[in-house]
Chains A and B, each alone.
Chain A
Amino acid sequence: MSDLQLPHINYAALAPMLILFGAACAGILIEAFVPRERRYPVQLGLSLAGVVAAGVAVITQAGTRTITAGGAIAVDGPTVFLQGAILALGLVALLFVGERSLEAGGPFVAQAALIAGSEPDRRQVVRPGATEVYPLMLFAIGGMELFVAANDLLTMFVALEVFSLPLYLMCALARRRRLLSQEAALKYFLLGSYSSGFFLFGIALIYGFAGRVDFAGIHAAALGSDRSNALLYGGLALLSIGLLFKAAAAPFHVWTPDVYQGAPTPVTGFMAACTKVAAFGALLRVLYVAFDRVSWDYRPVLGVVAILTMLVGAVFAVTQTDLKRLLAYSSIANAGYLLVGVLAMSKDGLSSSMFYLVAYGFTVLAAFGTLTLVRDADGEANHLSRWAGLGRRSPVFAAAFTFLLLAFAGIPLTSGFTSKFAVFAAALDDGQTWLVVAGVITSMVLAFPYLRVVVMMWLSEPAESTPTVSIPGVLTSTGLAIGVAATLVLGLVPAPLLDLSTKAAEFVR
């Protein structure tokens, strides 16, 4: 038997993922062995500690440029930046997930799959203290870390499944509106599996073309292979479908509003912020590292997708009356703006897209965080009409939410403006004027739904049944403060983070 040569593994570079997976496994063991009433502080503490430790591990990797673990992992500037972004956003999301003062026992139940409305399901709804969500969340974050670091398509696919499966499950854990939550999870799962199938088929076609699945190999094969180019383009198209599905780009966006609405709000925020970072991080790596030689061929197609995404997001956002759905469509439109940055296909495009991801992530997390606060007897009151006159009742809260909406609308002095400006400038420098024109026009259209909410909060008379704004607990307050502060700071002094993203904007091949 020949010697088995094990690949060299740079454990320091893998440390963030190892820490997170380790913490997640420990979390599952805690579920098994710690009594229910003591689990919450243990799980929350473990999760926070795991994320922070992983963050420290990521920071120590700043400046590393290496490919390790048998070519499966590339640790370079974008990896470190995006992993850091996912961890920072994940930490804030974890704060919202961990909040228990708003609803007795937190917004989650233990078992996702019990038939909604059945006796056991009703029992678990009133039983406090489900903590299953924490290990799931750690697995998801770990999978996202792996996703943005993957250096070949197979690792990327495994990472995709590792972070998708917990997300499917987390969508079904809402304590209120169980049926809606389960519907969201099932929809997400079915469509997600379908898109994973596309991704996998894409890998097969690419393998048929290049004979390899690592990005450097694909890059080399794109220069000249004796196989038909149809395999390359077909494979790229299928891969893109898989990734654009996760990124919620049109026409693969149809799951977004339903899932965002049905999932527990903290999970929705987590998906809107972190999944987007992960999906676009992977898309950037695939397009910039593996397929940069055929960029002239796919750019028009993805450009059309970007415009369609922006249009669909902006136009449908105007007609929404539910705040979660409105934010879902806004997240679709933002995927379009991100695609504009991605398609710049330059160092500026890369750095501005990464900046956009961070800026948008913090804003959207804080926005979903505020949604958890407006409640009535049935849980969160997300219908737009219920928010009438909230500015009179809780001016501080309404002011914060107004600020976040203005950031979404891209009003200057918020991070929304600087980030949009960054991606549009990068695209213009690269001659993608048509995308920028579409972006500017749709962002104007998109300003209206946001302004409508603002008007609703401040100028309408409060109705009899206006829901109350709960006093947020320490965790939610901290998360909100971080989100709002990041939105403000990245709008006023974006330079440090922009410099960081520019410095990081170089892939290793």
Chain B
Amino acid sequence: MTVSDVLLLGLGAVAVGAALLVVTTRHLVRAGLYLVVALGAVAGIYLVLAAELVAWVQVLIYVGAVVVLLLFAVMLTRAPIGPSEDLDRPGWPALLVGGGSGLGLAALLVDAYRWSTVDRDQVGDAQRLGTEIFRSWVLPFEVLSVLLLAALVGAIVVSRPEVGRARPRPPDRGER
């Protein structure tokens, strides 16, 4: 057992444990913070696997942006800071579906790989990732960027005051 194996096992345990806490805790804010731990552990796994760029992106976007957004949303909606009882509803169907698919997938993966080893071909540094993206995956990448751009413009449109609001409105013609 190498060091990286131990690290992977440890980080995996942290990720799973934190994820369990996310869904079991009664504190809304704590759930968000546990999420940070889970996502951070996953970023650690990437790092152990020598995918440094992905790891930092994970930290930046998920730990940094998404969870912060989440916490801000919690703050803005004036959610209770203490424990909220209704967060602890026994969601048996959800537990069944979620736990079932999670355990099923885990069993499937364990069964598929057993103790076989997979060679890691190259390190996942920024250069390799960039080459891949612009060689093989340029179209999906561009489509996503267009979508994000649209979302960006859309957000501005939604938040800015109405265009031409100042002018007196002409009577709506052709609208009824």
A residues sitting closer than 8 Å to B (CB atoms) are 1-2, 4-7, 9, 14, 17, 21, 24-25, 28-29, 31-37, 40-41, 69-73, 100-101, 104-106, 111, 128-129, 135, 139, 146, 154-155, 158-159, 161-162, 165, 198, 201, 205, 208-209, 227-228, 230-231, 234
Q: Name the CB-closest residue of B to A31.
A: B157
**Complex: A227 Cα to B116 Cα, angstroms:** 9
Determine if A7 and B147 form an interchain contact, defined as CB atoms under 8 angstroms apart.
Answer: no
Determine if A32 and B153 form an interchain contact, defined as CB atoms under 8 angstroms apart.
Answer: yes
Determine if A6 and B135 form an interchain contact, defined as CB atoms under 8 angstroms apart.
Answer: yes
Q: Name the CB-closest residue of A to B169.
A: A37
A209 / chain B contacts, CB cutoff of 8 Å: 112
In the complex with contacts A32-B157, A111-B158, A230-B108, A162-B147 CB distance below 8 A: yes
- Chain A CB within 8 A of B122 CB: no
12 pairs of residues in contact across A and B, judged by CB atoms under 8 Å: A4-B134, A7-B136, A17-B143, A21-B143, A25-B153, A36-B164, A72-B137, A100-B176, A104-B175, A158-B143, A228-B114, A231-B112
In the complex with contacts A31-B157, A36-B164, A128-B175, A70-B111 CB distance below 8 A: no
Looking at the assembled complex, report how far the CB atom of B7 sits from the nearest CB atom of chain A, in whole angstroms. 21
The 3 A-B residue pairs with the shortest CB-CB distance, nearest first, are A35-B164, A228-B112, A158-B140
- Chain A CB within 8 A of B138 CB: yes
Looking at the assembled complex, report how far the CB atom of B112 sits from the nearest CB atom of chain A, in whole angstroms. 4
**Interface majority SS on B: helix, strand, loop or mixed?**
helix
A230 / chain B contacts, CB cutoff of 8 Å: 108, 111-112
CB contacts between A and B, total, < 8 Å: 124
Among A9, A25, A158, A161, the most chain B Cβ lie within 10 Å of the Cβ of A158
Determine if B163 and A36 form an interchain contact, defined as CB atoms under 8 angstroms apart.
Answer: yes
In the complex with contacts A40-B175, A228-B111, A25-B135 CB distance below 8 A: no
A33 / chain B contacts, CB cutoff of 8 Å: 163
- Chain A CB within 8 A of B131 CB: yes
Which residues in chain B, 88-111, are within 8 Å of chain A measured between CB atoms?
Answer: 101, 105, 108-109, 111
Determine if B175 and A28 form an interchain contact, defined as CB atoms under 8 angstroms apart.
Answer: no
Looking at the assembled complex, report how far the CB atom of A480 sits from the nearest CB atom of chain B, in whole angstroms. 20
- Chain A CB within 8 A of B162 CB: yes
| Interface size counted on chain B using CB atoms at 8 A | 40
Determine if B150 and A70 form an interchain contact, defined as CB atoms under 8 angstroms apart.
Answer: no
Determine if A139 and B138 form an interchain contact, defined as CB atoms under 8 angstroms apart.
Answer: no
Of B105, B144, B157, B164, the residue contacting A158 (CB under 8 A) is: B144
A7 / chain B contacts, CB cutoff of 8 Å: 135-136, 138
Determine if B131 and A4 form an interchain contact, defined as CB atoms under 8 angstroms apart.
Answer: yes
**Complex: A35 Cα to B170 Cα, angstroms:** 11
Of A100, A104, A208, the residue contacting B112 (CB under 8 A) is: A208
Determine if A21 and B146 form an interchain contact, defined as CB atoms under 8 angstroms apart.
Answer: yes
Determine if A72 and B139 form an interchain contact, defined as CB atoms under 8 angstroms apart.
Answer: yes
A28 / chain B contacts, CB cutoff of 8 Å: 150, 153-154, 157
Looking at the assembled complex, report how far the CB atom of A499 sits from the nearest CB atom of chain B, in whole angstroms. 32
Determine if A227 and B163 form an interchain contact, defined as CB atoms under 8 angstroms apart.
Answer: no
**Complex: A17 Cα to B142 Cα, angstroms:** 12
- Chain A CB within 8 A of B2 CB: no
